[in-house]
Amino acid sequence: MAWNRYLALPPEIRVDLTPRSRASIVHDFIVSGARKHFLSDSDVQFVTHRGLFIIDFGRVQLRFKKFNGQLRPQSIPTNQTKAFMIQEELPGFPLPTKLTAGYKLDNIQQNIDCIAVVCFSDDRCAWFFELERLSKTEPVRFPDRVELEELPAPKARAKKGTKDEDIRRNKKQAK
């Protein structure tokens, strides 16, 4: 839902966004959607501490991040994010299992490759599961090939002072 909201932004706005801005906008859309989805559930709490948004389900706490290719969150390694990754108790957060839900983009950063939930322990992936594999959008169509006028092939010739020339000169001097 968040990625689709991002794609619905006018192309003239999206083209000016950096990958960091794109990730921030998608994250904000994810948080907004999660708040709306769980708003009426009295067993769920939303906790924000120093910019870290957590959905607290009691025995499980969940945060949202963009993943890199190895399903590791892409973020600045602050003390707070490190503590979350190693399952350490955070001020204001009880000690349930801490999970990270996130998305990984494809190699050209145009589509979501996968959505997964990852549990880290001691800063290593203890386990993960993929939530869904998304279908790809239509590829971007480029204009028909423009024929360029043919240029003559460059002529190859050795430069003076090349290694081969230096080696031959040194051999002649040694004789």
Residue 165 lies in a domain: no
| Residue 171 maps to a domain | no
In a domain, 167, yes or no: no
C-beta separation of 111 from 134 below 8 A: yes
Domain of 80 in residue numbering reads as 2-132
| Residue 96 in domain | yes
Confidence of residue 164 (pLDDT cuts 50, 70, 90): low
Q: Which of 8-12, 58-62, 137-141, 170-174 ranks highest by mean pLDDT?
A: 8-12
The per-residue pLDDT for 110 is 85
Q: Count the domains in the chain.
A: 1
- pLDDT tens readout for residues 5-25: 999 999 999 999 999 999 999
d(CA 99, CA 119): 5
Stretch 55-72: mean pLDDT, rounded? 88
Cα–Cα distance, 173 to 127 (Å, whole number): 68
Report the alpha-carbon distance of residue 3 to residue 137 in Å, rounded. Answer: 12
* Residue 174 pLDDT exceeds 70: no
**pLDDT interval class at 126 (50, 70, 90):** confident
Residue 100 lies in a domain: yes
Kindly state whether residue 152 falls inside one of the protein's structural domains. no
Q: What is the pLDDT of residues 86-115, one digit of tens each?
A: 777 666 665 788 899 999 998 888 889 889
pLDDT at 171 (0 to 100): 62
15 occurs within a structural domain: yes
52 against 149, higher pLDDT: 52
Would you say residue 168 lies in a domain?
A: no
